[in-house]
């Protein structure tokens, strides 16, 4: 059976349960937790899987407990939450625009965050918490500009994608100009953030991101009815009673907020928001990217890429965005080829 319907009298809730989606979510949650624990175990003082799990449960040796909770857990948690935020944001964008190529990477949101951070570093205001504020502000401003320029008595997913691609190139060019005109120290500081990086992450990055996801994730799930209506096209969505323009703006704001907080915490990790929803959709075999599975897939992609980045070259920790970029580029080419055939 591909799906099951349910109806509760108290509270009055009804819906459709897809067993395959549930199984996919459980499997993704399991492999994500495994990657999460393996990442915590890596370091100059390696830890076994059992020791990591004991420490997460608050038991075991006090020295190991300190290493896990204070030194390694913030980095792993930042990676997990950032991946989940990117995956869920990508699912919202792709469903809203009915386009598998629509993601914050492709429509200028992450590039807007990048140019804001680099400008702040060049001007001397992009250090410490200032980087997070600049990244968040740049992402939100880029999204608002995209929506404004795409407005023609309303917006469509097609116009949002086209305008976003154009703005992304403008932001990328501005970033390159700032990098060229900055000094060597400033350029190195900017590069460390632009590639997406989990090195040196602390609770000051993990806690705000966790609080943001606690608010934005339920909001994204509650907007599922609108996003599924938009997936059927504007005309059908209107017939179904969905406020098309308000729904599109609300979904855009929630998606941008997710990627803005994630980018502020770990930088613009490339291709996660593009790849995770497509992975989840193909595993679940649904007509649109399932949001929970997309978030779990995004978390796994970031954590797995971080493991590769830390083990690929001995004594060198590559930025996690380098690995996701290398792995995501073939997927982008495949999506382009598949879309052309379709």
Write the pLDDT tens digit of every residue in 289-314: 999 999 999 999 999 999 999 888 77
Q: Which one-letter DSSP state was computed for residue 43? A: S
Average confidence (pLDDT) over 173-188: 83
**Residue 254 is encoded by which pair of tokens?**
């929630």
**Residue 90 is encoded by which pair of tokens?**
């990508």
| 8 A C-beta contact, residue 276 and residue 301 | yes
Asked if residue 1 has pLDDT above 50, the reply is no
| 8 A C-beta contact, residue 275 and residue 155 | no
> Which pLDDT does position 9 carry in this prediction?
63
Q: CB count, 10 Å around CB of 182?
A: 18
* pLDDT (tens digit per residue) in 30-80: 999 999 999 999 888 888 888 899 888 888 788 888 888 888 999 999 999
Average confidence (pLDDT) over 142-156: 81
Distance of CA 84 to the CA centre of its chain: 6
**Whole-prediction pTM:** 0.88
Distance CA 182, CA 305 (A): 30
Residues 6+ apart with CB under 8 A from 42: 307, 310, 311
Strand, helix or coil at 7?
Answer: strand
């Amino acid at each position: 059976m591909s799906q099951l319907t349910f109806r509760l009298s108290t509270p009055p809730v009804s819906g459709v349960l897809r067993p395959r989606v549930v199984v996919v979510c459980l499997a993704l949650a399991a492999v994500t937790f495994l990657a999460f624990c393996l990442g915590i175990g890596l370091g100059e003082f390696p830890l076994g899987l059992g020791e990591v799990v004991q420490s997460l449960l608050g038991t075991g040796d006090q020295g190991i407990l300190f290493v896990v909770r204070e030194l390694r857990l913030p980095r792993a948690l930042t990676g997990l939450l950032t991946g989940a935020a990117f995956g869920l944001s990508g699912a919202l964008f792709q469903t809203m625009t009915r386009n598998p190529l629509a993601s914050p990477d492709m429509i200028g949101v992450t590039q807007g965050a990048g140019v804001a951070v680099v400008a702040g570093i060049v001007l001397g205001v992009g250090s410490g918490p200032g980087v997070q504020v600049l990244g968040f502000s740049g992402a939100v401003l880029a999204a608002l500009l995209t929506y404004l320029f795409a407005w023609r008595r309303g917006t469509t997913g097609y116009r949002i994608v086209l305008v976003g691609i154009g703005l992304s190139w403008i932001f990328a060019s501005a970033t390159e100009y700032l990098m060229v005109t900055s000094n060597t120290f400033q350029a190195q500081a900017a590069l460390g953030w632009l590639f997406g990086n989990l090195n040196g992450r602390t609770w000051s990055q993990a806690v705000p991101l966790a609080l943001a996801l606690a608010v934005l994730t339920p909001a994204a799930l509650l907007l599922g009815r609108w996003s599924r209506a938009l997936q059927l096209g504007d005309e059908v969505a209107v017939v179904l009673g969905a406020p098309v323009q308000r729904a599109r703006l609300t979904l855009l704001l929630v998606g941008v907020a997710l990627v803005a907080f994630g980018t502020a915490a770990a930088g613009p990790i490339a291709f996660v928001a593009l790849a995770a929803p497509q992975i989840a959709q193909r595993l679940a075999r649904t007509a649109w990217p399932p949001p929970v599975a997309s978030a779990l897939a995004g978390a796994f992609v970031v954590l797995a890429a971080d493991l590769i980045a830390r083990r690929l070259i001995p004594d060198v920790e590559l930025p996690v965005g380098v690995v996701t970029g290398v792995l995501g580029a073939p997927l982008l080419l495949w999506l382009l080829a598949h879309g052309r055939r379709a």
